[in-house]
Amino acid sequence: MSTRLMLLPSKSFEQIRLLRIPDDFEDHEAYRLATGVIAEVELNIPGCSWEDVWDALEEHGFEKLDFVLGPALD
Query: Which stretches of 1-72 are assigned E, i.e. beta strand?
Result: 5-8, 17-20, 63-65
3-state percent helix, strand, coil for the chain, nearest multiple of 5: 40, 15, 45
Please tell me the total count of domains within the chain: 1
**pTM of the full structure:** 0.85
Residues 13-51: tens digit of each pLDDT: 889 999 999 999 999 999 999 999 999 999 999 999 999
Q: Which of 24, 30, 29 is nearest to 5 (CA)?
A: 30
Its domain, for residue 59, covers 5-65
The reply to whether 46 falls in a domain is yes
The reply to whether 70 falls in a domain is no
